[in-house]
Structure 1
Amino acid sequence: MKKASVLMIIGSLLLLGLFVFPLWNIMLGAPQYPEPLGMNIHINGIRGVQEFDIQNIDGLNHYIGMKTLPKPDEMWEFSTFPLVVGGMVFLGLLIGLLGLFGKVSYKWFVGWFVLMSVLGLLGMYDFNAWMTDYGTDLDPRAIMKLTQPDGTPMTYKPPLLGNAKILNFNVTSLPGVGGYLLFVGMLLTLVASYFGWKSDKIKVNSETN
């Protein structure tokens, strides 16, 4: 159980990387931009990959009627997500330490993993809903009003994951360093749950023999 508890503690601590590194990254490449434009989505705000990327992206979006990228105080997520992540780190550390001293079973590790998975899925759903609104709720007074072949207004929703062609831009959406740290941290807590289960099973077998 000691090995499982140590993995639980390490896995939880890796989530602290979300306070330093971006959770997600979106890059926009086009022939007229030798250096692609990019934005890093952090748990507390959106920042440009390069100094003027946010300004340039907002300038392009203005022509097609898209909203400017939100400031940290314009989305409740940017004040709530740090609290959620911090709370889950604290909870994971507490469970790991209690497990280290034999006060809780591996089932608490599983519970933490399930709770974090649910929160992660809700976060992805919210992120996708924001991108849908961002790419479809266009200003009718926009300078450029482009339509699909069937006459419906064109949408500019970035992909949640992967690559998409939007006008003459290749848009790539992938996890950032923080997103990969989150994945590894959760994977470690899952491994910790397995080791904890295995340890309990060995303990039960030894007591019955």
Structure 2
Amino acid sequence: MKNSSPISSTNRLLLILCSIALLAVIFLPIWRIELDAAQYPEGLELQIYSNKLAGQVDIINGLNHYIGMKTLHADDFIEFTVLPYIIGFFVLAFLGVALSRKRKFVYVLFGAFLLFGIVAMVDFYRWLYNYGHDLDPNAPIIVPGMAYQPPLIGFKQLLNFGAFSIPDLGGWMFIAVGVILAYCTWNEFRRAKKRNLSQV
């Protein structure tokens, strides 16, 4: 049976490297939001790790107060509690699949990792939406009809601030892991198909 055939040595090595990369992601910034305005020529930066926020968080919170946005505190987000464990699970899952050498587990891992990526981005978008729309009606500065949702990815002008949202080092590593896993899955599927055809 094709699903019980062992995966290639190259793909096993790639999966092990992915496991190591994901372990590093736990300690690296995953996403960054950069803010640029005339009064801050050096720019402001918010870095999002798996378990904390970094960058000029206090300054950004001070600015948010004036327009009614909630202040940012890692303790307010359950994601910062569970995300390191989820990533840790995938660290072990990638390593386990590589050691098991079973092709069917590669397919399962790909499905699980893809689902996690989709859920994570949807949750991040929801967080950004609530962050930019749930405003204090008693804020010192109120612009009727104005929302301050940062972009999920890319650039967006928010009053006199330009907001630029992109993956940080850990995020790019996450994307690279997904691409490598997709390649391994496709490669194993192709190898299984060739093997089946050769047996006909």
> What is the TM-score of this pair, normalised by structure 2?
0.90
Paired letter, 1:191:
Y
Match 2:70 to one of 67, 78, 97: 67
Q: How does 1:6-25 map onto structure 2 within 5 Å?
A: 6-25=13-32
Contact 2:27-2:50 within 8 A present in 1 as well? no
Relative to structure 1, is the Cα distance of residues 186 and 12 closer, same or farther in structure 2, using a 3 angstrom cutoff?
farther
Contact 2:31-2:168 within 8 A present in 1 as well? yes
| Residue ranges of structure 1 left out of the alignment (5+ in a row) | none
Query: Does 2:115 align with 1:113?
Result: no
Q: How does 1:1-209 map onto structure 2 within 5 Å?
A: 1-48=8-55, 53-71=56-74, 73-99=75-101, 104-105=102-103, 107-147=104-144, 152=145, 154-204=146-196, 208=199
Q: Which residue of 1 aligns with 2:3?
A: none
Paired letter, 1:66:
M
CA offset at residue 12 of structure 1?
Answer: 2.7
Q: CA RMSD in A?
A: 1.5
| Residue ranges of structure 2 left out of the alignment (5+ in a row) | 1-7
Contact 1:109-1:190 within 8 A present in 2 as well? no
Q: Distance in 2 between matches of 1:178 and 1:5?
A: 22
Contact 1:13-1:185 within 8 A present in 2 as well? no
Aligned residues: 193
CA offset at residue 38 of structure 1?
Answer: 0.6
Bigger RCO (CA 8 Å, 6+ sep): 1
> What is the TM-score of this pair, normalised by structure 1?
0.87
Q: Distance in 2 between matches of 1:69 and 1:184?
A: 29
CA offset at residue 126 of structure 1?
Answer: 0.8
Paired letter, 2:24:
G
Paired letter, 1:9:
I
Q: Distance in 2 between matches of 1:79 and 1:36?
A: 29
Contact 1:9-1:92 within 8 A present in 2 as well? yes
DSSP-derived class of the 2:73 partner: coil
